[in-house]
Amino acid sequence: MSENGHKIELPYSIVIRDLAVKIEKSPIEIIKKLMTNGVMATINQAVDFDTAAIVVAEYGFEAVLEQVEEIEPEEAGEVPLWRQMIAKEDAAALKSRAPVLTILGHVDHGKTSLLDVIRSEHVAEGEAGGITQHIGAYQVELKGRLLTFLDTPGHAAFTAMRARGAQGADIVILVVAADDGVMPQTREAIAHAKAARVPIIVALNKIDKANANPEHVKQQLAETGLIPDEWGGNTMIIPVSAKQKLGINDLLEAALLVADNIEIRANPNGRVIGTVIEAEVDKTRGTVTTLLVQNGTLEVGDIVVAGTAHGKLRAMTDYTGKPVRKAGPSTPVAVLGLNEIPSAGDVFQVVTSERDARDIVSERHDTAKARIQTKKASLEDLFANFKAGEARELNLILKADVQGSLEPIMSELEKLGKGEIGIKILYAETGNIGENDVMLASASHAIIIGFNVQADVAARRLAEKEGISLRLYEIIYRLTEDIEKALKGMLEPAIVERVIGRAQVLAVFSASKLGKVAGCKVTEGELRRNARIRLVRGADIIYEGDLASLRHEKEDVKEMRTGFECGVGFKSFTDILVGDQLVCFVMEKSA
């Protein structure tokens, strides 16, 4: 932020710690100034622009509102496959289509309740009672216009689609409880929506509750970058109550307004393409797949390829269970005829013949095999990609143990990202690395950086499967040093973890020297005496360190292979339970 004489640029909302740094004063001084003006605040609390302007004026500064730079379309990152195909259509043939909306937000903030109310209130009379099957999407009508809702709330589903090259939703409705505010899952949902470059409308739910505090929630949202339109920002925040059925029409009207601004169009007579919403095997009907048509018109008898599934459509029903022959853009339908279950988020398309379908599927199987052999993103190949003109910025997901660690790391990374290759922090939060972090990294081609945190077992497995670079640090300067070297193209090969074996604890014995010994059976690979060991209980990592002993019957052994039983001792650790899992791994230099 620049200062010009006594002028200083301030955002709509600023944390007191940051304000103190900006004007080079002590946070305590700032807090005292606020107290004399009747405002009680802590060092990590945010204040709005007007309050901050009063404080800085007392130090001789004139506050001016910070200008937020608009992102140019060409910087918007990867464009979903179906959007690329629509872009090739004749512009004169494009027509407006119904916007597709999905609902994200924190657990228990009322996502499902809101969807239920929208469905019961706005599905055309006579149809609501006729819904005979759940197809994962439905349409509602307002003022003669249709809106399509994806009935799969949750950013995991949303990101699974992005990871497969799709983007089912045109608009995200973010549900935030007025009595609870912005929670960790809310921040995750915001990060996922922003990474997808999808407009966000906030549904401020539970406004009927006595302890609702809408202004406080707006302040929290402003801190995440969602500035309310009434504060001069561009985020529409609509007060609603799913329980009292209040504000539902206002929310839908807001969605139509946003849709008008972003020109959601398609060619009903063009190439047929869309997204798989969900799929399942029905005992009587076979594979039932829900498709969302996004361009063209899908018809019974069409030959469809979706991921590695293909087939000729035998039947098609709408969200009420009524048989239909055709489905145009933004229409969800359940279809029969695919030979296997495609994955949610797979892009589907219509082809001219069964032979073409088999050729496409065969090619995709080969591509999938090749992808397993290569990593999607790593610090090691970043500079090579930049030289080839393939990378302009490094996408990072940052997890740290405490807020006090997160802020200085982000500050250091922002300084590093001012060269030829920029640094973009997609998501920064406290806590261990989970599956959602890996999914976001997969969808956004990002690298996950952890500081003084662990990655849970499911996250490690998913990262290995998806080829996501996951790097953990305990010293800040080593973290920033690695990023700096990567940006300069000088990074040494990384020391990475390679799992060599797994075992299950069948019994726990007392031992005079070690205290307790785990009686184990090796279930995969091998356990090695000189390797590292991780003890996992459920989803939690209980211990990580070196093996103190490895014995088979009464003999010390160097290794123990799959199917054999052995005794394992840990250095200075005795909290072992039957059922615990052991993961044996070695640290190696990557190629």
Residues near 185 by beta carbon (within 8 Å), at least 6 away in sequence: 105, 106, 107, 155
Residue 243 · residue 114 · CB < 8 Å:
no
What is the identity of the amino acid at 433? I
Residue 15 C-beta-side C-alpha neighbours within 13 Å: 12
Give which of 209, 206, 188, 190 is closest to 198, Cα–Cα.
190
Count Cβ atoms below 10 Å from residue 2 Cβ, excluding itself: 8
| CB 312, CB 302: distance < 8 Å | yes
Spatial distance between the Cα atoms of 165 and 163, rounded to a whole number of angstroms: 6
- In the structure encoding, which two tokens stand for residue 89, read together? 């259509």
Cα–Cα distance measured from residue 433 to residue 438, given in angstroms and rounded to the nearest whole number: 8
Nearest to 327 by CA among 318, 336, 339, 338: 318
Token pair 């202004």: residue? 215
Q: Please provide the DSSP assignment of 312-375 as one string.
A: E--EEE-TTS-B-SEE-TT-EEEEE--SSPPPTT-EEEEES-HHHHHHHHHHHHHHHHHHHHS-
- All residues at 6 or more sequence positions from 84 whose CB lies less than 8 Å from its CB, including other chains: none
The helix or strand, by DSSP H or E, that contains position 541, with its residue range, turns out to be strand 540-552
CA of residue 328 relative to chain centroid, distance: 29
Structure tokens at 471: 């790097």
Please state, as a whole number, how many other Cβ atoms lie within 10 Å of the Cβ of residue 94.
18
Query: What local confidence, expressed as pLDDT, does residue 501 receive?
Result: 92
Cα angle 155-129-201, degrees, rounded to a multiple of 5: 30
H-run or E-run covering 387: helix 379-387
520 within 8 A of 509, measured Cβ to Cβ: no
Q: Write out the H or E segment, with its range, that includes residue 428.
A: strand 422-430
Identify whether the C-beta of residue 589 lies closer than 8 Å to the C-beta of residue 498: no
> CB-hemisphere CA count at 13 Å for 156?
6
Residue pair 405/452 in contact by the 8 Å Cβ criterion? yes
Helical packing angle, 27-36 and 49-57, nearest 10°:
100
Residue 521 phi/psi, 5-degree rounding, is -120, 130
Q: What is the pLDDT of the chain when averaged over all its residues?
A: 80
This prediction has a pTM of 0.56
Amino acid making up residue 161: M
Q: For the range 545-548, what are the long-range contacts, defined as Cβ-Cβ under 8 Å and sequence gap of 24 or more? A: 545/570, 545/571, 545/573, 546/571, 547/571, 548/514
Q: Would you tell me how many other CB atoms lie within 10 Å of the CB of residue 360?
A: 15
CB 146 within 8 A of CB 124: no
| Cα–Cα dist 167/162, whole Å | 5
Q: What is the pLDDT of residue 504?
A: 94
Q: Which domains are seen in the chain, by residue range?
A: 3-65 (no CATH), 98-263 (3.40.50.300), 273-373 (2.40.30.10), 379-492 (3.40.50.10050), 497-589 (2.40.30.10)
425: its two tokens? 């922090």
DSSP bridge partners of 512: none
pLDDT for res 175? 92
List of the chain residues with pLDDT < 50 = 1-5, 68-77, 124-133, 165, 372-376, 383, 387, 389, 490, 591
Structure tokens, 348: 């589907």
- Radius of gyration of the chain measured on its C-alpha atoms: 27
Q: How far, in Å, CA of 202 to CA of 121, rounded?
A: 20
Q: For 172-204, what is each residue's pLDDT tens digit?
A: 999 999 998 888 778 878 887 887 788 999 999
Q: Is the CB of residue 303 less than 8 Å from the CB of residue 357?
A: yes
Is residue 566 within 8 A of residue 551, CB to CB? The reply is yes
